[in-house]
Structure 1
Amino acid sequence: MSPLSSQPGRHLVDGTVRVFLAGLLFPLTGLITAGFLTRRLGTDGYGLLVLSATLFGWVELGINSFFARPAIKFIGEAKNWLPVGSTLIRLQFVAGVVGGVLLGLLAFPLAWLLDEPLLAPYLALFALHIPISSLTQAHQSILVGIGNFRQKAVTNACRWIARLLLILVLVEMGLSVPGAIIGSLGASLVELAVSRRYVRPPLFGKVAILTRPFYDFGILLCVSSILFLIFSSMGLVMLKILGGTLEAAGIYGAAQNLSIIPGLFGMSFSPLLLSTVSRLLFEGRIDQAKSMGFGAMRMVVGLFPFGALVAGAAPEIVTLVFGQSFELAGPILGVLIMGAIAFVMVSVAVVIATASGAPLFTLYLSIPLVVLVLIGNLVMIPRFGAFGAAMVTALCQGIGALASLFAIHRLWGIFPPIGTFLRSAIISVLAYMLAVIWPTSGLLLMMKIGCIGVVIILAYFVSREFSHDEIALARSFIGSKAETIEQQKEM
């Protein structure tokens, strides 16, 4: 029996930690990359790169979201994953080719719409990235669906390290923005090569027709994922459409890039949660599935103090990473980070709705949010610029989180404890105050963030937020890691 079936809770925690730590290489290497690019490309060049990457991301995510969650759900429930996995690989690659052609054809019209002629060749270059990315993500879905969370963590780590090295080398060679795009494409190729070390479904052969439920889930989740992506990135695009300068777009994009860590955690956690919960529900272990959903909701509420820490230290963070010219990104980061944490609750709700066979929830939530953020940006950006866009985005993300809480309660009858909300609010105020009254600069900022982070965890411990089972689980992980280190020393 696999760990996914025998010890789903421990396997989920272990996988989440590993995938998240591997995923942390993205913001860590991304900070180095962003700091390097902002200094090499300037605010205008960096603004163009962020804008083209955002438009590319819409197409990429649309394709991947059509296949990813349904694939994870159905592979997780299958006794033999190979037929579904082989079909998934071929169909997703074909969809990636179509998406790449579509982005290439739209490159010049989009550049004209945004009044940035240089955007067209960058989008055309990103179009070559989409088929490779689609094929890579298909392999990732298989790894998650069959419960190989550790292998997924390895492939992610290889990707982010390769991305950093390739971008640094190519841009330093004088390739500028195209070098950054080619470096990202090369990193996807590295991730694909590593993924095929662990799973090797045949790339060629007959393309079988997937079952009707797969397409039903895929269409609904694809549309909602695109809407969620548009919702999250609309601030940047609307800022440019409504007359914002490339400098303003670069500043907003820099703050947006620093606020991705909560979203990264959600991206690391939600596929693993979906795989685990789907299998539990398929095996009839409903109470255990609900317990995992309950724990996921508590975890999201518990993240807010860490967001408050970042908000309090935001001016120092942006200055350290991007330089003094991006100082105006500090207040924007402080707002976006709190909204990004709230939006992780939406990821949990989408997982529960998908595993429960109710994907329509994602449409019921995503459509109103897009309408709200569109209206809000039209009102706030002309008056307050980039900061207004950030306020609208964060407020709408909070509304989405509240709607998700009530949706989960309606589906499964679970809700985070009021005590968790109160502890999170009090500790958030403490973390924010400590970050503000303790001024630092340079590398001392890392020590400050680490120290306040420890204070947050201790505050939760002293206030008895953690249960005995959670403490025992944490101790078991620490103990197992210590044993592994000792065994390696003996060898």
Structure 2
Amino acid sequence: MNQSTASSNRRMLSGALRIFLAEAVLLPTGLLTAGFLSRQLGPEGYGLFTLAAVILTWVEWGTSSVFSRTTIKFISETRDDWQPVMVTVLRQHLWLGSGAAIALCLFAIPIASAMGEPKLAPYLWLFAPQILLFNLSRAHRTTLTGLGRFSEQAIAGASRWIARLGLIVLFVSLGFSIGGAILGSVLATSIELLMARRSVQLPLFHPNPMPARKLWAYAAPMTFYSLALQLYTKIDLLLLKALGGTAEQAGFYGAAQNLALIPGLFSMAFAPVLLSSLGRVRREDDLGAAKEMSRNAMRLGFLVLPLGAIVAGAAPEIIRFIFGNQFLAAAPLLALLIFGALIQILTSVASVTLVAADKPQWTALLTLPLVPIVCVAHSAIIPRWGAIGAASVTVGIISLSAIATLIAVYFTWRIVPPFATFCRSILVCIGIYFLSAHWSGTGLWLFLNLSAIALLVPVCYLLLGEFTSKEIALIRHFKS
């Protein structure tokens, strides 16, 4: 590992950690917000707010994710004059966000009628401006990622979640009820946009903007990839209910899904940073360094698997501590879904590598066929095996997706993750699972014991000879 590659790896890990910690602010602030609103609004009011927020989230992410990875790729590969790219990106976000907001307003009443909740329509109207604000904010934050300014990107993201908690508590406490909660969310998104724009001012006009068709040529397959990914990783709960599952089973499954969220946050943080880093390395025409960086990133996907073993081994105690004894049926579901979430990191890394290698269409071609496969598999398995069958299908499909994308990366750049790392990871998983299952504890001891077990993971890898002397030096430098 040469000095340039080591520096790039340090920068990539540091950037991913900053963004992950910023997005992880969602966990405590989200729990506090949910606890406050559920008590202030009551079951019916909180249900209406949640329903409106879920609909909004699908629209927000569906529109803003169209250009995210494409933006990062183009900016990171541009040496100096990145403004022509961002003029086109900002305009497309503006049109998409505005169009989606208007569409939500037009269809609010039909959506509310379909849900059997006429009161929902005004809340969707009030939420609609957030779609445009979120799209504009995402354009600025992906620009910061592409430019390698990870700290500023992280600050903008964290500011939204902190402001959202404070503003929602303020407006609801003043008596504005559901409308106040929505207003607080919209204003928090405005704060995120202002914080991001304070760091980078994107222009709307440029004498020579990048042609929109060039942007869409990359964005279209990535959009299909993102939509397919959301479908085959999130459709399990819907199909479980549609295929005869009870509300109680759906509750158990939802609880397990929520606890398996953290690896997804890391994947969301790591993938754009990796793409930005690969873009800058490729800009210097150093294909060898780009391949080494991708291989190390795939290796990281194997190295984190023992974290799933910790959660799987202690799943009953984790469920009991957070949800109570009545949710213990969610424990085996969590033990499966946590591995699915971790394996998804491998898929994300491999797909980023394909985009960096100018093969964005491959991501869609590899992912779209999995949607009908997962639907057929769930339809066959769920009626017989219920929730545990749904979780097994989800993990199986995610694993199949990871294998397919890794094979595609091999045919593109002739690189594979180290087989020795995979073997060591399996060995560590077995030992860590046994330790976690028999030494998890209860209450406060649960988290103390699991933290101690987590610290043993890198020690095990070190004793098994996973890390080279240069990597040990890199870790020491990173800690300092």
TM-score for the superposition, normalised by structure 1: 0.87
Partner of 2:219: 218
**Distance (Å, rounded) in 1 between the aligned partners of 2:411 and 2:48:** 43
Alignment check: 8 A CA contact 2:424 2:461 kept: yes
Q: Deviations over 1:334-382 (max 9, x none)?
A: 2211101111111112111111111111111221221122112223333
Partner of 2:27: 27
Against the structure 1 CA distance between its residues 472 and 112, is the aligned structure 2 distance closer, same or farther, given a 3 Å change threshold?
A: same
Q: Which amino acid aligns with 1:163?
A: R
**Distance (Å, rounded) in 1 between the aligned partners of 2:439 and 2:48:** 35
Matched residues, number: 477
Aligned-residue CA RMSD (Å): 3.1
Partner of 2:165: 164
**Distance (Å, rounded) in 2 between the aligned partners of 1:430 and 1:142:** 42
Alignment check: 8 A CA contact 2:22 2:155 kept: yes
**Distance (Å, rounded) in 2 between the aligned partners of 1:42 and 1:375:** 39
Residue 202 of structure 2: SS of its match in structure 1?
A: coil
Greater mean deviation of Cα atoms: 290-299 or 66-75: 66-75
**Distance (Å, rounded) in 2 between the aligned partners of 1:314 and 1:108:** 42
Against the structure 1 CA distance between its residues 423 and 47, is the aligned structure 2 distance closer, same or farther, given a 3 Å change threshold?
A: farther
**Distance (Å, rounded) in 1 between the aligned partners of 2:386 and 2:116:** 18
Against the structure 1 CA distance between its residues 106 and 5, is the aligned structure 2 distance closer, same or farther, given a 3 Å change threshold?
A: farther
Partner of 1:395: 396
Greater mean deviation of Cα atoms: 453-462 or 176-185: 176-185
Greater mean deviation of Cα atoms: 426-435 or 114-123: 114-123
**Distance (Å, rounded) in 2 between the aligned partners of 1:387 and 1:173:** 44
Q: Which amino acid aligns with 1:80?
A: D
Q: Displacement of 1:104 after TM fit?
A: 3.9
Partner of 1:446: 447
Alignment check: 8 A CA contact 1:163 1:183 kept: yes
Partner of 1:424: 425
Q: How does 1:92-491 map to 2 (within 5 A)?
A: 92-110=93-111, 123-168=124-169, 181-202=182-203, 208=209, 210-244=211-245, 246-479=247-480
Alignment check: 8 A CA contact 1:136 1:191 kept: yes
Alignment check: 8 A CA contact 1:309 1:431 kept: yes
Q: Which amino acid aligns with 2:156?
A: T
Q: Which amino acid aligns with 2:20?
A: F
Q: Which amino acid aligns with 1:274?
A: L
**Distance (Å, rounded) in 2 between the aligned partners of 1:330 and 1:301:** 23
Q: Displacement of 1:245 after TM fit?
A: 5.1
Partner of 1:69: 69
Partner of 1:486: none
Against the structure 1 CA distance between its residues 34 and 197, is the aligned structure 2 distance closer, same or farther, given a 3 Å change threshold?
A: same
Q: Displacement of 1:265 after TM fit?
A: 0.9
Q: Which amino acid aligns with 2:59?
A: V
Q: Displacement of 1:242 after TM fit?
A: 3.7
Alignment check: 8 A CA contact 1:89 1:203 kept: yes
Greater mean deviation of Cα atoms: 323-332 or 359-368: 323-332
Partner of 1:12: 12
Greater mean deviation of Cα atoms: 380-389 or 75-84: 380-389
**Distance (Å, rounded) in 2 between the aligned partners of 1:53 and 1:71:** 27
Alignment check: 8 A CA contact 1:230 1:370 kept: yes
Residue 66 of structure 1: SS of its match in structure 2?
A: coil
Q: Displacement of 1:332 after TM fit?
A: 2.2
Indicate the percent of aligned positions where both proteins have the same amino acid.
42
Against the structure 1 CA distance between its residues 47 and 450, is the aligned structure 2 distance closer, same or farther, given a 3 Å change threshold?
A: farther
Residue 223 of structure 2: SS of its match in structure 1?
A: helix
Alignment check: 8 A CA contact 1:22 1:154 kept: yes
Partner of 1:87: 88
Q: Displacement of 1:129 after TM fit?
A: 2.4
Q: Displacement of 1:294 after TM fit?
A: 0.4
Q: Displacement of 1:59 after TM fit?
A: 2.5
Alignment check: 8 A CA contact 2:10 2:478 kept: no
**Distance (Å, rounded) in 1 between the aligned partners of 2:36 and 2:333:** 21
Against the structure 1 CA distance between its residues 202 and 313, is the aligned structure 2 distance closer, same or farther, given a 3 Å change threshold?
A: same
Q: Which amino acid aligns with 2:8?
A: P
**Distance (Å, rounded) in 2 between the aligned partners of 1:441 and 1:106:** 49
Q: Deviations over 1:311-348 (max 9, x none)?
A: 22223323333445544333322221110111111111
Against the structure 1 CA distance between its residues 247 and 146, is the aligned structure 2 distance closer, same or farther, given a 3 Å change threshold?
A: same
Q: Deviations over 1:291-325 (max 9, x none)?
A: 10000000001111001111222233233334455
Against the structure 1 CA distance between its residues 228 and 150, is the aligned structure 2 distance closer, same or farther, given a 3 Å change threshold?
A: same
Against the structure 1 CA distance between its residues 342 and 172, is the aligned structure 2 distance closer, same or farther, given a 3 Å change threshold?
A: farther
Alignment check: 8 A CA contact 1:50 1:250 kept: no
Against the structure 1 CA distance between its residues 323 and 422, is the aligned structure 2 distance closer, same or farther, given a 3 Å change threshold?
A: same
Q: Displacement of 1:39 after TM fit?
A: 7.0
**Distance (Å, rounded) in 1 between the aligned partners of 2:245 and 2:175:** 28
Q: Displacement of 1:472 after TM fit?
A: 0.7
Alignment check: 8 A CA contact 1:56 1:127 kept: yes
Q: Deviations over 1:217-260 (max 9, x none)?
A: 01111122112112222123323444545554444333222212
Alignment check: 8 A CA contact 1:114 1:241 kept: no
**Distance (Å, rounded) in 2 between the aligned partners of 1:300 and 1:6:** 19
Q: Which amino acid aligns with 1:12?
A: M
TM-score for the superposition, normalised by structure 2: 0.89
**Distance (Å, rounded) in 2 between the aligned partners of 1:45 and 1:257:** 21
**Distance (Å, rounded) in 1 between the aligned partners of 2:51 and 2:395:** 20
Q: Which amino acid aligns with 2:198?
A: R
Structure 1: gaps (5+ residues): 480-491
Greater mean deviation of Cα atoms: 66-75 or 87-96: 87-96
Partner of 1:485: none
Residue 128 of structure 2: SS of its match in structure 1?
A: helix
Q: Displacement of 1:28 after TM fit?
A: 3.9
Q: Which amino acid aligns with 2:330?
A: A
Alignment check: 8 A CA contact 1:224 1:366 kept: yes
Alignment check: 8 A CA contact 1:87 1:207 kept: no
Q: Which amino acid aligns with 1:83?
A: P
**Distance (Å, rounded) in 2 between the aligned partners of 1:177 and 1:248:** 29
Q: Deviations over 1:140-191 (max 9, x none)?
A: 1110111111111222222232233344555667777666555443332221
Q: Displacement of 1:81 after TM fit?
A: 1.6
Structure 2: gaps (5+ residues): none
Against the structure 1 CA distance between its residues 466 and 339, is the aligned structure 2 distance closer, same or farther, given a 3 Å change threshold?
A: same
**Distance (Å, rounded) in 1 between the aligned partners of 2:138 and 2:325:** 37
Q: Displacement of 1:198 after TM fit?
A: 0.6
**Distance (Å, rounded) in 1 between the aligned partners of 2:366 and 2:53:** 25
Residue 328 of structure 1: SS of its match in structure 2?
A: helix
